[in-house]
Amino acid sequence: MSRAVVRRRLGASWRRLQATVIRWRLRASPARVAGALVYHQTFRAQVRGEQVVPGIAAAVLELHLRHLRRSYELVPASQLHGAMLARRRGRQIPIAITFDDDLASHLEVAAPLLQRLGCPATFFLTGAGLDEPHSFWWQRLQAAADRGLDPRPALRTAGLFAGAEQSLVGLARDVERSPETVRAAVAEELSRLIGGDPPEYGLTRSQIRSLAHAGFEIGFHTRDHRPLPELADDELARALHDGRAALEEATRQRLRVLAYPHGSADERVAAAASSAGYTDGFGGPDRSITPRAARLLLGRIELLLEDPSAFELALASELWASR
Ligand SMILES: [Zn+2]
């Protein structure tokens, strides 16, 4: 065995040991803390090329899930806050596994894996593809890159600078910061470039129904996926309402939990979500949940680490730091 391999294995064992010690200390304490993990796209094989929204390979997700079901109490997002308050000394820390956006990979990769391992999860969907194919601008941007097409001319036509040296993520950031009219033009131009909606994005009614029938909790992610803090009060109320009933009808579930689009929310948005009847809103800070957090401004943690020992340690450390 080479020295590098020995060093790597020792490093992994050390991280695992540290993670285990932290979890024991957390379990032994009366600390009230919980974690919501957020994932997006899952890939059967490796994640290839630059991703606008970081994804995870099925093999890596499987390692995460095996660890989570062994070491934590897994609950749907709607039960996370209650499980945190109800936890007694000696019991495991509650964790919710969540997935955002309407992605074919939810049904093809994530759901079968979750079912095989017996892990509950919550899928936050927009339902934008219920009646006809639909994809958002950043999904079209990703599709263009995946197909080897340069998206820059399309972005320039839509009014952006789109420099030759800008990365895909950099281009996406510029679009995200632009006014809604520019984002709409970007979506239009990219659709022209890639020739319509790519099949990997948007879930049909029957796909959404399958996900709900498989026993997963469905939460709302708003139909138009616009950053809510930028909306005026009346637009905000509409964003929290439009498409909700159709998704409830398709899933036969009441949509009481919400993941804010782009993870962005503030107190005004949270108040509007509460008025609209949501019990829990996820977004805001990238951290664990404690009784100090407002239920409509709960944080989520994104940990896509490939090395399972690094994942175990990062999660335990995050929970420990927030307690
Ligand atoms: Zn999203």
> What is the model's pLDDT at position 245?
98
> What is the model's pLDDT at position 133?
93
In the beta sheet, which residues pair with residue 43? 57
CA of 231 from ligand 1 middle (Å) equals 17
CA of 126 from ligand 1 middle (Å) equals 8
- The pTM is what? 0.96
Per-residue model confidence as pLDDT tens digits over 43-64:
999 888 899 999 999 999 999 9
CA of 304 from ligand 1 middle (Å) equals 16
- CA distances (Å), 162 to each of 25, 66, 150, 208, 247, in order? 50, 42, 11, 35, 36
pLDDT band at 2 (very low <50, low <70, confident <90, very high): confident
CA of 22 from ligand 1 middle (Å) equals 32
CA of 262 from ligand 1 middle (Å) equals 6
In the beta sheet, which residues pair with residue 74? 95
> What is the model's pLDDT at position 255?
97
Residues 6 or more apart from 10 whose CB is under 8 A from it?
Answer: none
Q: Got the DSSP string for 31-97? A: ---BEEEEE--EESS---S--SS--EEHHHHHHHHHHHHHHSEE--HHHHHHHHHH--TTSPPEEEE
CA 194 to chain centre: 25
